[in-house]
Structure formats: C-alpha cells, structure tokens
C-alpha cells in the first residue's frame, strides 16, 4: 500500500514513515500543501495522511481541492488542531478520518488499514483470485491451498495487479508504486518478480502486454 504523507515537521514525518514502512507500507513524504496536490494529480496512492498546518497551502484547502477534483483517495487528517470545529470542518470537506496529535502509532496503523480496506470494499485484508489468496495483513500467499513464499516486493507487485485486475498497469506505474520517488532499481526487476510469481502460482496468472506493462485478467487462470 502506497501512502502520501503530507507533514511539515520532519521529526514527526520521519517517525511515521519509519513505522509504516516497517509494516509494509510504501511512504512518500511531502512537506508542502501545493506540492502534495500536484503529487496526488500525477501519481496513484492508496491513502493520504494529512497535516493541516502546512506551507504552500493549508491542509483544509488541499482537502477541498482534492475532493473538488473528484479524487476519492482515502484521507486521514493528523493534526494538533483538536477542537470539535476543526474535526467537523475536516470531515465535512471530505476527510475519511481525523486523528489528533499526540497519537499512538499503532492506532494510526489500524486506522490506515481500515481506510484502505473500506476503500477497496473489503471487510478483511484478503484478496482472492481463483485458487490464489493473498492475506495482506500477514503478507502471506496461498495457491491451491499451499502456502507460497514470495519476496516482499513480488508480493506487493501481485497485490497491485490483483487490485487492478482487468486493467493494464504500465511498467513505470508499477516501478513508482514499488519504489516511490527515492530509490532506483534495475530495469529488469519487474521481469524478475513476475517470473517468480508465475513460477510459484500459474504461468497464466500475469499476462505481459509487450512494450506497455502487465495485467491480471478478470478470467481466472487455469
């Protein structure tokens, strides 16, 4: 799951980023409201964690702009503004949750997971496709009732493709989802992960669209 963290206090941002990445989230951090709005227009995120007191553009202005653009990405406000009016304003402008500082990291994690589940229409963090089941909480995969061991990024790649089944996902989009903005990877890394997934599940699980990217078809592979 890829998170856009919009927070201008470095110590808080570093702590959140470190904690969430320890729990298999991919976190991209921005400390400016205007830059965050641009990032959300140009990249795909599963969740936004939003501070309100931001340079460039206030968090509430960011929130209003995002919802006016019909973006439905789940957004949790994380702010020191703790009055009832602040919470009401944030929720009325389209925030999905509101957590006040100081906060418990485990509560933030639980709320993030709940929002992603709700957004995907799931009550549990499970993805199923034919004989394949992914447990997103435990980071476990099963195929035809047998536990399948995948490298963490291969598991993440398969999750992305399953969540967008029936749609071609470009290689550039997948690389950004897996590595964010801060890391570089070898150009053949996607092929390596796709090969691993096919070997551990079915050769038909992921289809290559030459020169474009990959797709998990709606039809369940044999």
* CATH number of the domain residue 209 falls in: 1.10.10.10
For the segment 6-14, the average pLDDT, to the nearest whole number, is 94
- For the chain, list the strands marked E by DSSP: 2-6, 26-30, 47-50, 75-79, 97-100, 126-129, 132-135, 140-143, 146-148, 169-170, 207-209, 213-215
Domain count, the chain: 2
User: Do residues 158 and 184 both lie within one domain?
Assistant: yes
Task: Give Cα separations from 111 to 20, 126, 193 (angstroms).
Answer: 12, 17, 30
- Determine the pLDDT at residue 139: 84
Contacts of 210 (CB under 8 A, 6+ apart): none
CB atoms within 10 A of CB 104: 9
- Determine the pLDDT at residue 147: 94
CB 155 within 8 A of CB 139: yes
Digit-coded pLDDT (tens) for 98-149: 998 888 999 999 899 888 878 766 545 678 888 999 888 778 899 998 999 9
Query: CA-to-CA distance for 217 and 196, rounded, in angstroms?
Result: 18
pTM assigned to the model? 0.66
Asked if pLDDT for residue 221 goes beyond 70, the answer is no
Q: Which of 104, 119, 134 is a domain's end point?
A: 119
Q: Which of 102, 119, 136 is a domain's end point?
A: 119
User: Do residues 104 and 8 both lie within one domain?
Assistant: yes
State the burial class of residue 192 (Cβ atoms within 10 Å of its Cβ: 0-12, 13-18, 19+). Answer: middle
Residue 91 domain flag: yes
Of 79, 85, 112, 80, nearest to 96 by C-alpha is 112
User: Do residues 24 and 101 both lie within one domain?
Assistant: yes
User: Do residues 86 and 15 both lie within one domain?
Assistant: yes
Asked if pLDDT for residue 212 goes beyond 80, the answer is yes
User: Do residues 159 and 136 both lie within one domain?
Assistant: yes
Asked if pLDDT for residue 152 goes beyond 60, the answer is yes
């Amino acid at each position: 799951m890829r998170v856009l963290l919009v927070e201008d206090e470095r110590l808080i941002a570093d702590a959140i980023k470190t904690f969430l990445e320890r729990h298999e989230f991919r976190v991209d951090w921005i400390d400016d409201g205007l830059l965050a709005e641009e990032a959300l227009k140009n990249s795909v995120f599963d969740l936004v964690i939003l501070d309100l007191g931001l340079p460039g553009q206030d968090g509430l202005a960011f929130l209003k702009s995002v919802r006016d653009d019909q973006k439905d990405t789940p957004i949790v406000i994380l702010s020191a503004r703790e009055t009832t009016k602040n919470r009401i304003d944030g929720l009325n402008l389209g925030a999905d949750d509101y957590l006040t500082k100081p906060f418990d990291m485990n509560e933030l994690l639980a709320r993030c997971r709940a929002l992603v589940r709700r957004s995907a229409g799931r009550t549990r963090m499970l993805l199923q496709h034919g004989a394949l089941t992914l447990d997103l909480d435990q980071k476990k995969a099963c195929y035809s009732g047998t536990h399948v061991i995948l490298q963490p990024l291969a598991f993440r790649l398969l999750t992305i493709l399953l969540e967008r089944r029936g749609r071609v996902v470009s290689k550039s989009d997948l690389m950004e989802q897996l590595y964010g903005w801060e890391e570089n990877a070898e150009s053949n890394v996607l092929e390596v992960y796709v090969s691993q997934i096919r070997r551990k599940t079915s050769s038909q699980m992921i289809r290559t669209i030459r020169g474009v990217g990959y797709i998990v078809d709606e039809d369940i592979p044999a």
